[in-house]
Structure 1
Amino acid sequence: MKTWLGVIAAAVLGVGGVARAEMVDKVAAVVNRDIIALSEVQQRASPELSRLAGERDPRKRSEQRNLVLKQALDALIAEKLVEEEVRELGLTSTTSEVEEAMADVQRQNGITDSAQFEQLLSREGYSMKSYKEFLGKQIARGKLMQMKVSAKIKVSEEDLKAAYAQYAKNEGEDMEVHARHILVAVDPKATPEEVEAARKKAAAIAEEARRPGMDFESLARARSEGPSREDGGDLGFFRRGVMVPAFEKAAFSLKVGEVSEPIRTNFGWHILKVEERRAVGVTSYEEMRPKLELQLRQQKTEKFVDQYVQELKKKATIEVKI
């Protein structure tokens, strides 16, 4: 879930509710005179820990769990230090600032219904009240970062032109392919014998497609069993990262006019023909400039926020107990 102060939240804070330390909790760390309970660390890490449940290797799962807990603890330590600075400077947030931030979060997530928003917050472990408190703290921390970090963030024209040159180089090297395909469908529950029979059928069609003068588009209309049959198997132009890996590998390794061997996907066996290859068009500097400036500002913000937090850590007394 995006927040009003997304860059600062990503660099300094984790997203998740903060549990109040109980006397029976194990102490995870002491930051100056503040205690971070193990329950706080576990709650902060809970979304990531839930995702680890699918890892079958116990050793990998344990290593990943320890890493997730360490990252959560680091975030909480940073949060404690920032909170101390916020208190010392008397920084707060107003009701109108919180309401504006709430409205922005809803816009960013495409939410127009308050009930839907409350449901989303509930999945993230918040009530409406606790989320408003969370945003209020975020806003106060944002004011601190504005004071301590913003003056250092400068994006020059040279920075922008260098970023654009790298962008243009990367994009200019990329290609996109126009291809057609013929599908020999295979039922997901097909037996190995049925899968092999379909492969042989696809191989025969591939041989037919390679015959001199053969019109692949007409062959696709006559023989394909896929939804693109009516369009002669036309897939249009596509870049890397769009198709499934096996399909993409064949598409970008074939020369124009070449026909592939049968390619297996979840839908069946595909015979692919590359019609055209072309370099991806590069967006002009004028069009890219606002986006590049935003990216550079975010990168520099994250860098300086991290530096500021490291400075706070050097001045603090921190004792990690887990």
Structure 2
Amino acid sequence: MQAKYGRRPWALVTALILIWVASPALAGEKQPPEDKVAVVNGSVITRADFDMEMSHVQRRLFSMGTPLSNSQLSEIKKEVLENLIDRELLYQESQKKGIKVDKAAINEQLMILKKRFASEAEFKNALSRMNLSEAAIKSQFKRRMAIQQLIDNQFAQKVTVSDKETKAYYDSHPDSFKQPEQVRARHILIKVDPQADESQKAKARKKLEKIQLKLQKGEDFAALAKEFSQGSTSAQGGDVGYFSRGQVVRPFEEAAFALRPGEVSDIVETRFGYHLIKVIDKRPQTTIAYEDIKDRLEEYLKQEKVQKEVSLYVEKLKEKAKVERFLTENPE
């Protein structure tokens, strides 16, 4: 049920619902003319806003392993700019309709964001690195929440999806409901810095070889993982849960899928360091039953309908708005 690449990858509704730090988008502030990429009914979208958004999009595409040609990058820049313009138009419309966002709700979102960081100091350092303030973050939450309220009031509460529609979609998209083969595994990781020299690598490997000997003598894998693993799952006995092919680094994947439940790999090297892997369970490829996916499918189709309605709504807003675009390619 995932949107295919080529359908506007920053689909309007998704982009509006997601809250992420690196996009201040504080339209309305006066900016030098050379710093603006667009003006929407007098509100400025700055080059900084645009560059932040592009950085986020490029990181996401890079993490997906999606290479981009120059022509594709140029098209993505146009899409990103239009997405920023769409958001600004929707925010302006939310204000025209008198939508207010409760301060307590904004503060609650800020607290949720802060919990992603180990400490208040780490949170403030992250803001400093991105040239942001807590006030800017609150302002962004306020804008996003106002837009979401507008979408909910105008569209989401009115859209319905019938059982007939969900069943028709399920029957006509069989590949979308195939659950690939999965493995559940534990691992013990001894980290190695990517810049480590051969002697440092040998030291790390020797440490894992000693742990390997303990396993061969019958000691418990989970207990050893808790004691020695330097991975993020050490507290869980190294349990990384279930994963499919393509979800972990290739050497780890190849080793795990080659093992039977209960078996332990030899030492596996990845860019993170050296691992010992124990497979706990395997699940064969299956097809998700309609009854098990029905509710999620209904929500997905509802979002699709809302997205279409919002897109049409924005196009009508653009027809009435004064939108000036100033985006030029930065010289290489």
Q: Which bin holds the TM-score, normalised by the shorter protein? A: 0.5 to 0.7
Does structure 2 retain, via aligned residues, the 8 Å contact 1:153–1:300? yes
Is 1:21 paired with 2:30? Answer: yes
Q: Identity, % of aligned pairs?
A: 22
Does structure 1 retain, via aligned residues, the 8 Å contact 2:155–2:309? yes
Say which structure is richer in helix. Answer: 1
Does structure 2 retain, via aligned residues, the 8 Å contact 1:52–1:65? no
Aligned match of 1:211 = none
> How big is the shift at 1:313?
2.4
Q: Is the partner of 1:149 in helix, strand or coil?
A: helix
Does structure 2 retain, via aligned residues, the 8 Å contact 1:98–1:132? no
Does structure 1 retain, via aligned residues, the 8 Å contact 2:24–2:137? no
Q: What per-residue deviation string (whole Å, max 9, x for no partner) do you get for residues 219-263 of structure 1?
A: 961599x98889xxx998853256531232354367899999985
> How big is the shift at 1:98?
3.0
Instruction: Give matches, 1:111-260, under 5 Å.
Output: 119=124, 122=127, 126-150=132-156, 153-161=159-167, 173-177=179-183, 189-190=197-198, 221-222=216-217, 238-241=242-245, 243-252=248-257
Is 1:303 paired with 2:311? Answer: no
Instruction: Give matches, 1:43-62, under 5 Å.
Output: 43-46=49-52, 48-49=54-55
> How big is the shift at 1:103?
1.4
Instruction: Give matches, 1:100-119, under 5 Å.
Output: 100-107=105-112, 110=115, 119=124
Q: What is the TM-score normalised by the length of structure 1?
A: 0.56
Q: Is the partner of 1:306 in helix, strand or coil?
A: helix
> How big is the shift at 1:93?
0.7
Query: Which shows bigger deviation, 298-307 or 283-292?
Result: 283-292
Query: Number of matched residues?
Result: 284
Q: 1:218 to 1:280 in 2, by over 3 A?
A: farther
Find the partner of 1:85 among 93, 109, 115: 93
Does structure 1 retain, via aligned residues, the 8 Å contact 2:181–2:286? no
Alpha-carbon RMSD: 5.8
Find the partner of 1:320 among 316, 319, 325: 325
Larger CA Rg, structure 1 vs 2: 1
Instruction: Give matches, 1:260-271, under 5 Å.
Output: 264-265=269-270, 267-268=273-274
**In structure 1, what is the Cα distance between the partners aligned to 2:99 and 2:264?**
66
**In structure 2, what is the Cα distance between the partners aligned to 1:103 and 1:117?**
19
